[in-house]
Structures are given as C-alpha cells and as structure tokens.
Amino acid sequence: MTSKSSLKDSTKDSTKDSALKFENQTDFYQGKVRDVYSFPNFVAMIASDRISAFDVVLPKPIPYKGQVLNQLAAYFLQNAKDIVPNWFETSPHPQVSIGKKAKTLPVEMVIRGYLAGHAWRTYNEGKRILCGVELPEGMKENDKFPTPIITPSTKAENGAHDEDISEEEILKQGLVTEAQWKKMVNYTHLLFRRGTALAAERGLILVDTKYEFGVYSNEDENNEEVILIDEIHTPDSSRYFYAKEYYEKQEKGERQNQLSKEFVREWLMENGFQGKEGQKIPEMTEEVINRISQRYCHLYFLLTGKELEKKPKLMNEKNIFEAISSNL
C-alpha cells in the first residue's frame, strides 16, 4: 500500500493536534483527547497528549499521557472481551489503536458505586434525584451505594458540555432504542463488576467510571450489534480509591485519596477555574506539566503493576502515520 501524508506543519506536536491524511480515509473526528480516523471497515484512534477537565481542553499537552491512556485502554479492553464485545483489535504504536468501526450511540453510561465527584456535589446541594435515580438519605461523601447506580449523560459534540439525562428522557427522545438501552445497561453492570475485580487485585476500589457504546454492522452475519467503544477504566474515565485506607478514612470523616484525573480538576479549582463562563485557565508552568505527567505514569504502574516503558520522543506525525499505514 502506498500512502501520502498531507501535513499542514510537520513540526507541529501531533500528539496535541493531529493533521494526518491517509489513503482510503473516509472521515476524521477530533475529540477532546482522541483523534479518530475512519476507513471503510475500521477506525484508527490516536490518544493525544491533550488533557481536558470540566469539558475544556487545556492549552498545553502532557508528555506520555497519550501513551498511558492508549496502553491502559488496550489492557482493559483485552480483559473484557470475554464478557462484552468491543471495538479493539490491535495497537501498532504506543499511542494508536485500530479496531472495528461503529456508529456511536449518543449516550455515555456513567456508573457509580460510591457517592463521589459530580454525584456528591449534586447531593451536597440538597438534591436527591440524579438522572432519574433516587439517592438514599443520610449519606456522606464517598459512602458506598447499596448497589451501583447508572447516571447517564448525553454525548456532547465539539467540546460542548455533557448533560445529565434520565432513562425516561433517553427513550422519549429516541437517542437509543429500548432494546439497545437494555443491552447497554446489562453491559455496563458486567463491565463495572469486571473493573471492580481487576481493581481489587491491585488493592484499589473502582469508585465510578463511564462506558461508551456504538452499533457495529456485521456484514458476515447481516446484523447490527451493540459493542463497547472508546477507552475503559483509565484515569481519564474512572475514579479509584485505595482499598487499604478507605474504611478507616470514612469512619474518621477524612478525605479519600483518589487515583484518577481528579487531581487535575482540584488544581484547576484551587486556581479559580471550573469551566464556567468568564473564568480563565490558570498558567500551566513546566513544573505543573511535569507533575501531571509523573502522576499519569504512576497511575499506569498502580493499575497494571508494571512500570511504563517510556518510548523515545519519536511520537511525531511521521512516526504515527507510518505505524497506522503499515497496519491498514
């Protein structure tokens, strides 16, 4: 196969902003963090070094973040193939995954085992209904729910804010069919149980996470199948606590240490930014960037038990382009 790249600027850091063009490419979509290249029968997904918080992409990339997210996603997707069909097939480059092409269903399945993050902020405002789900009285931050709850959100486009939505509204608006919804709910619970078990092996508690699904047209069997897409159980999509200290901290009313991207959100909030209109993103100094990068690398170790094998800084457009082209 012969391919040509139409790069606007070969010196650009493609792990932050991608501008690749492949033979037989049918579409391109740039999300907050990932760049997705579509072909007739598959997609190639690049995990960039971009970082987002409060639905805003921050102005500077984080070294090795793309590698961490891509390799963690591949690790967890491989560990879930036996319970839920998913899109992933191969990873030809530390920041690239290739797999099945599916039509995205516009609902993110957020599942929560504990009252944390957005759920806690909602609860603390006095509200007891979240996405149509009734929350128990008498809970405190980070308490465990009697059973995990699903609190869906709309799948926002082009950097817009995701919005909470109930099952009733999802079906009323026709975002997915009733059959698709039932399958998504079942898959979400199966994945959360698997993620919880994998986390426990590492001395961790999977607090909450999100899953995304799509419809895959299987031409051989002439049917459409709901499959898991995107990443799962990474620090960008999930929150973890440390099991060893969880119960003692809850009893004492102490703050839980989190293994997630929450430390980035906390840094932003401490500096007066929550993605609201008129707020300014604080300066990302080299010290801040390096600290975030080190945290991501440490998260990889905590979740897998292995040190990240940091690849040389050859993760540029030419390197990524050749890796994808050789696998088309």
3 state DSSP class of 280: coil
Residue 317 has what pLDDT? 58
For 174, counting Cβ atoms within 10 Å of its Cβ (0-12 exposed, 13-18 middle, 19+ buried), the class is: exposed
* Cβ(239)–Cβ(117) below 8 Å: yes
Percent of the chain exceeding pLDDT 90 equals 70
113-129 CB burial, b ≥16 within 10 A, e <16: bbbbbebbebbeeeeee
Q: How would you classify the pairing of strands 96-100 and 42-47?
A: antiparallel
pTM over 0.75: yes
pLDDT of residue 15 exceeding 80, the answer is no
pLDDT (average), residues 205-213: 97
Domain with CATH 3.30.470.20 in the chain: 103-260
Residue 155 has what pLDDT? 75
The CATH architecture that domain 103-260 belongs to is: 2-Layer Sandwich (3.30)
Domain with CATH 3.30.200.20 in the chain: 27-102+264-325
Q: pLDDT, tens digit, for every residue of 25-77?
A: 999 988 888 899 999 889 999 998 999 988 899 999 999 999 999 999 999 99
Q: How far apart are CA 289 and CA 280, in angstroms?
A: 17
Residue 327 has what pLDDT? 65
Q: Which of 226, 231, 256 is nearest to 244 (CA)?
A: 256
pLDDT of residue 4 exceeding 80, the answer is no
Q: How far apart are CA 143 and CA 54, in angstroms?
A: 23
pLDDT of residue 5 exceeding 50, the answer is no
Q: pLDDT, tens digit, for every residue of 251-305?
A: 999 999 888 887 898 899 999 999 999 999 999 999 999 999 998 999 899 999 9
pLDDT of residue 219 exceeding 50, the answer is yes
Percent of the chain exceeding pLDDT 70 equals 87
Residue 221 has what pLDDT? 59
Residue 162 has what pLDDT? 77
The CATH number given to 27-102+264-325 is 3.30.200.20
